[in-house]
Amino acid sequence: PGLVDEPSEARAMVNSRRAGEMLQLAADLAPEDATMQYQYAAYLQTEVQDYDQAAVFFRRAVQCDPADPSPEILFRHANLMQFRLRDYAGAEQLYRRLLSNPSLDPKLLTEALANYGLLLCNCLRRYSAAHRVLERVLEIAPDHDEARLGFKFCLMLEERSRTERRGAGNGEDEDDDEEPSALEFSS
């Protein structure tokens, strides 16, 4: 009845399913416990790949402490929204909330800024804002490969956008939205 130690693909599936059942039970029994909601959300995301249901439990985890949710929960939820559910507005809202935390761990700050910059560039097409965010990542972590590649891509798209607007007779950048205060931070 318990978890089985015998190594085999079938046993791994059984163990994973049983672990999921235990996590679900824990989440159901402790709806006010952010950790339980988060653990079940992470299981649904990584093991089951039920992204819609994972988003439900990430939201529940945030709601357990809406005034001060865990940065890790916000980060994982934003990633899910960006990369799996393609809810770019929802992802942006979560990144902004996360990046407004002045005491973020430097590694989490760097990864959140990088993902946020890529979201701004690739998904929202706000190239000037993406440029500033990705530039900030490279100031903090010059060897961040994704940020470096995203920054170069963003510069190319930003220039192309300017050229197209000039050709169409439109003005300069209109995407200079205010960025989160975390852009001022250094690690």
Find the mean pLDDT for residues 170-179. 55
pLDDT of residue 170 exceeding 70, the answer is no
| Mean per-residue pLDDT, 41-45 | 97
* pLDDT at position 44: 97
Segment 66-71 shows an average pLDDT of 94
The pLDDT, as a whole number, for residue 165 is 83
- What pLDDT does residue 186 have? 44
pLDDT for res 143: 96
Q: How far is CA 153 from CA 127, 132, 147, in A?
A: 10, 13, 10
- Tell me what pLDDT residue 167 has: 82
Q: Which residue has the tokens 């510069």?
A: 155
Q: What is the pLDDT of residues 109-127, one digit of tens each?
A: 999 999 999 999 999 999 9
Q: Supply the Cα-derived Rg of the chain in whole angstroms.
A: 20
pLDDT in tens, 132-163: 999 999 999 999 999 999 999 999 999 998 88
Considering the chain, what is the average pLDDT of its residues?
Answer: 89
- Residue 34 has a pLDDT of 96
> Nearest to residue 154, comparing CAs of 127, 129, 114?
127
d(CA 108, CA 70): 12
User: How many other C-beta atoms lie within 10 A of the C-beta of residue 22?
Assistant: 14
What pLDDT sits at residue 1? 52
pLDDT at 4: 57
